[in-house]
Amino acid sequence: MYDEVSSKQEPAAESEEILCPTCWPPGLDERVQDALTELLNRVGGQSAGVNWLVEPTPGTLRLQTEWSVGQSPSAETLAALADLAALNEIVQGGKVAGWLGAPVEMGGETAGRLWVVARPGERFDKRAAELTAMTGRQLGLLIANARMQSEIERLKSRRKALLRRVVVAQDERCRHFARELHDEVCQSLTALSIDLEAILVSGQPTSAALSQRLEHVRNGILRAVEEAERIILGLRPLLLEDLGLVAALYSYAQQRLSQDGVQIHLEENLSARRLPPHLEIILYRIGQEALSNVALHADAHNVWLGFSCDDRQTTLAVRDDGRGFQIDQTAQVQGGQTGLGLLGMKERASLVGGRVEITSAPGEGTCVVASVAVNDNGR
């Protein structure tokens, strides 16, 4: 139950109710109400409440009350409880304690007053006064902790947003480098290869040795073009932009593993809609790292790519039937590429609040499962 009272007997503006106290965390009203109910039960009072200072408007209080019976304190008592001058004092009403008041402090500053009123004809003793003062201190700690937790959640949300911007910026740089490689280096090398081929076809070289050397140079240029295209694919796969995560990762698996005779099996259960770009690139990089580990270390015959997606979560799974490994030992190897790769996958997922779970054992293959949340807005 909430009322507005003022030390000047003026009604508070409607907009002021939400300002009490500042940064009021969600769900805190219920916890304060529980504390008032507990105080009433322990001291046997008629009613209890808290007068909160409303900021930034001076001289205004917001009253949060808990009635144990069907009548409120008298107007005289409420006026005494709303005395701003004595807000940070422990007070008792009358020669005998018909009501009690204790300050609620946060960080050394008064946030309001907790009070409790006795039933008609009854009075409070010293124990009730001590309980009221103790409850006031506990309320201050409760609110301070709740506000701190609210601030932590706000900072976590901001950190996640900033990390997402970092991922997007990094991806944009990769796309820029890939475009430069394709437009400048690859095209220049291809032009040189064409020129050399024209020279060889025209019969201009005067000796077989020179022709052989030119052919060797031409083959080297073609190999350089292939290597540059492989780097471009790693920096920013065009299939990821055009066709999405499944097609891009399946294509990478074929390129990386098929030459070693590894069979690739695709298992998918994806909705028709595309994922947000920052989620697709993160899942792609995780899958890319998992497939590279298969190629380098697993000695596998089969790899299964699993995808599933709904309105809340997208999951990528990379499973092989290779030699497996001891996860704890590998993760503890300082500077080991495999250990850093496993850590990198988990760090990437954590950027968007996701997780990576890795299961493996010697002789039993390895399974990497990455899951990221997707909210109603697709983010």
CATH code for the domain in which residue 342 is found: 3.30.565.10
- pLDDT reported for residue 206: 64
Q: For residues 18-33, give the mean pLDDT.
A: 62
Q: How far apart are CA 260 and CA 300, in angstroms?
A: 9
Instruction: Check whether residue 128 and residue 254 sit in a common domain.
Output: no
Whether the pLDDT of residue 178 is over 90: the answer is no
CA pair distance 352, 358, nearest whole angstrom: 18
The confidence score (pLDDT) of residue 28 equals 76
Question: Is residue 291 predicted with pLDDT exceeding 70?
Answer: yes
Same domain? 6 vs 152: yes
Edge-to-edge strand order for the sheet containing 2-6? 2-6, 60-67, 45-53, 109-118, 99-106, 91-92
Final residue belonging to a domain, choices 121, 156, 191: 156
CA dihedral over 65, 6, 52, 93, signed as positive or negative: negative
Q: What is the pLDDT of residues 76-108, one digit of tens each?
A: 777 777 776 666 666 666 545 688 888 888 777
Find residue 4's DSSP bridge partners. Answer: 62
Average pLDDT, the chain: 76
Q: Which of 58-62, 77-81, 118-122, 182-186 has the highest mean pLDDT?
A: 118-122
Q: 156, 183, 208: which is the final residue of a domain?
A: 156
Domain identity same for 28 and 145: yes
pLDDT of 123 above 50 = yes
Domains in the chain: how many in total? 2
What are the start-end ranges of the E strands in the chain?
A: 2-6, 45-53, 60-67, 91-92, 99-106, 109-118, 263-269, 302-309, 313-320, 355-360, 366-373
Strand order in the sheet with 302-309: 263-269, 302-309, 313-320, 366-373, 355-360
CATH of the domain at 62: 3.30.450.40
Q: How far apart are CA 338 and CA 289, in angstroms?
A: 10
3-class DSSP state for residue 71?
coil
- The larger pLDDT score, comparing residue 321 to residue 233, is at 321
